[in-house]
Chain A
């Protein structure tokens, strides 16, 4: 018989198992850093392949998504079924299957194993978490299990590497060995209730078979006692203590992505500024320099600056997932989000979006349910991110009168600021509620979630998650965000302005004139009729357009358009200059002031709800695998932002604020 695969081509091994079985740890122990990460064709299910060499043979280890059953109900499970059945385009039918079986959860894991054995592929079973099982007084006889299943069974302790070499040997040997028989469940099928649907009968019979196997191979050396893990669980899911602990954990997560990332982001900005200054001094003034400095370098900086937040958030998620808290968090918050048509798993992605929607949308990967994930992604940009804060602060400080509201310590600007955050949350809840009852209407989405046992997170797995998230962002979204920032640079720089030959004209005035004459400036004039009902003049319309790359740009653009040059609103002097100029601004050809409280409010409300962030739209496109969703997001958010700004402005004018 020909050796399967032959010497030349790599052996394809599929790694199958339930979620939370230590499968990722085992993958890392076997193959190290994955050599290929992508999506399976047509679906947003991650494809992860790691190549390693064992005894001179190349092995491609395909890490399949964790699944509870081979009867597919979700895109993830469909992928597992297709790959194992050899029906997945671009993936060779596996030469061998490794089934990961968690010893602490033997019955449910053997259920999936029994379905996998039905496929008749060369199979090896890897027993994981036996160290945890030993602590709980559970012992599994690997030889007896191998006898029952008819395939090799290897006990591995992935973190220490014990058993890994034996597992590799068995993978190499399995394709040439005898195929394991399909589990004989006929006796159990006959015993099951004949009136049931065939699928349900099959499950009941399989579990009956599994129960017999478990009774034969599993031994409890000590009586099960209340373990430390259970005591921890009792506290962390407790009505009062659990909620308190949850609030503390989330506060820590949120402040760290908000605050810990800041020094790294500042460092990146400073580094990019230094490089830009260097380039500026080396190149002669002209379109090339402008393209390089204001287009390309600014774009690269705008991409890299997101990496610290993404890395930190995914570090936290991996930490929470690794110790088992992630699903507890979903458990605690589920009821709150169900009302809006979401689920408990949407909580962390939405919370993270208050820092930045980019990592938040990426974090929605932890939501298996496709509908819930899409809904979460669509409303995540409504959370007021850190880029909106400077806009709120500047406008609240400048145009909202500093008077007390009820209490002497409660000032109106602070109330308006809080209201902007509340507005985002309220609109997100409303949008999710409406979408879940219209576009995404369907059968109720089940919430059937394992709460895995408490365990120590694996550092290697955590670092791999961080690396993977950062790299996929840079590779997939980074290039597109960069391209978009170059296009926007061109729109703001061309056509070349015709400047009067006036030596008295300052550099700031020149910049302002150039922007006013560019495509962007002209577009601002064109859209003036659209923004006039919001109380904006064409300059504000132009600044809103120019802030499409990122919201925080609006302040800089306002500075340029009002002839202040590039002001840094973070700087005391720059901000106060901008405020003075904004307060002095008048409608073209009149003495009527542009800014008033209603205009400031309409601008803030618009920025609270609009989708003026190109990077967010790019990441939505990448994460959903379709360009329909960014278009939908941009459209609905812009329409809502305009309507809300219109209402608040007209209300403010009518009430004479």
Chain B
């Protein structure tokens, strides 16, 4: 069950940290995000955004990952 308070990773502000709730999609991009380690429970920090606002720089599992806001919207986070 999804809580109404659930939000996507794209809504997490720069400098904030959140825990991944899920990547619920069944599309290839969602699967790739899971494979990159964005699995339920993992702590993700939004480290920076590129100068033009997109893409985002994330830190998770001890490494840095860059995804666009469009992909970040596929990831739900717990609040």
Contacts and interface: CB of A to CB of B under 8 A. Distances in A.
B32 A107 contact: no
B64 A451 contact: yes
Interface in A440-458: 443-444, 446-453
Given A207-B39, A239-B51, A450 B68 contact: no
Contacts of A73: 28, 32
Interface string B46-64: 0110111111010001111
Given A73-B32, A237-B48, A327-B66, A451 B26 contact: no
Contact of B67 (A68, A69, A234, A447): A447
B35 A335 contact: no
Nearest to A208: B39
B71 A111 contact: no
Contacts of B27: 443
A200 interface: yes
A331 interface: yes
A107 B62 contact: yes
B37 A111 contact: yes
Contacts of B31: 71, 199-200, 203
Interface string A411-451: 00000000000000000000000000000000110111111
Contact of A243 (B48, B51, B54): B51
Nearest to B67: A448
Nearest to A334: B55
Contact of A451 (B23, B66, B70): B66
A68 B63 contact: no
Given A332-B50, A335-B53, A444 B66 contact: no
Contact of B32 (A334, A444, A446): A446
A525 B23 CA distance: 65
A396 B39 CA distance: 60
Given A108-B63, A237-B57, A450-B63, A68 B51 contact: no
B52 A336 contact: yes
A334 B54 contact: yes
B30 interface: yes
B47 to A, nearest CB: 8
Contact of A447 (B34, B48, B55): B55
Most B Cβ at <10 Å: residue of A104, A204, A242:
A204
Contacts of B52: 335-336
B70 A444 contact: yes
B12 interface: no
B26 A108 contact: no
Interface residues of A, number: 45
Interface residues on B, range: 35 or more
Interface in A578-620: none
A108 B55 contact: no
A450 B65 contact: yes
A635 interface: no
Most B Cβ at <10 Å: residue of A105, A204, A335, A344:
A335
B71 to A, nearest CB: 6
B33 interface: yes
B68 A108 contact: no
A446 B62 CA distance: 22
Contacts of A111: 35, 37
A271 B63 CA distance: 50
A332 B51 CA distance: 7
B15 to A, nearest CB: 11
A114 to B, nearest CB: 11
Contacts of A207: 34, 37, 39
A204 B67 contact: no
A200 B61 CA distance: 19
A335 B54 contact: yes
B63 A200 contact: no
Contacts of A449: 65-67
Contacts of A344: 55
B35 to A, nearest CB: 4
Contact of A105 (B50, B54, B63): B63
Nearest to A243: B51
A277 B18 CA distance: 72
A505 interface: no
Contacts of A104: 62-63
A257 to B, nearest CB: 25
Contact of B34 (A204, A334, A338, A452): A204
A243 to B, nearest CB: 5
B50 A331 contact: yes
A238 B57 CA distance: 11
Given A240-B51, A447-B71, A452-B64, 17 more contacts: A68-B32, A68-B35, A105-B63, A107-B37, A108-B37, A199-B26, A200-B30, A204-B39, A207-B37, A239-B51, A331-B57, A335-B51, A443-B27, A449-B67, A450-B63, A451-B57, A451-B65
6 contacts: A335-B50, A344-B55, A443-B28, A446-B28, A448-B71, A451-B65
Interface of B: 22-23, 26-37, 39-40, 47-48, 50-55, 57, 61-68, 70-71
Interface of A: 68-69, 71, 73, 104-108, 111, 193, 197, 199-200, 203-204, 207-208, 233-234, 237-240, 242-243, 327, 330-332, 334-336, 338, 344, 443-444, 446-453
Nearest 4 pairs of A and B residues by beta carbon:
A335-B52, A451-B64, A446-B29, A203-B34
